[in-house]
Amino acid sequence: MLYLTLFLSAFISATLLPSSSEVIMVGMITKSQVNLWLLWLVATLGNVLGSCVNYWLGTQVLRFKHKKWFPVSEQGLEKAQNQFNKYGVYSLLFAWLPVVGDPLTVIGGIFKVRFSVFLLLVTLGKGARYLAVIALAVGVEALI
């Protein structure tokens, strides 16, 4: 049940909804005996799948760009495209960052980043982040 809670928290954390899977992960590490590698896998999988939802939403959002209620102007979309092109697809490695990370995954979908590339970059970034959280919680020597 603990791992399911972590998975769901990590999934929700990756969407545009607020959540903090790192707090749950650290709590699990400090309060109970857990398999650290399984903890890392569950959190990473949940978070990456949540990012895939954002990617899919991004692929659908432009259908509505000509609606009056659409929150971004044509100029705003063009500016976002230029920024994304400037920093490149490798900016998806930073999808783990607070505030900017979740929108990055939506933008990846909007601008039709090849899904295999999206998946690889997002998984690397998010996996590294959870590894760092575990290392900080238990100490680096416990992982080796």
The domain segmentation of the chain, as residue ranges, is 2-143
What pTM does this model have?
Answer: 0.86
Per-residue pLDDT at 32: 78
Dist. CA 128–CA 134, nearest whole Å: 10
| pLDDT score of 93 more than 90 | yes
| pLDDT score of 51 more than 90 | yes
- In angstroms, the Cα distances linking 21 to 9, 104, 132 are 5, 19, 13
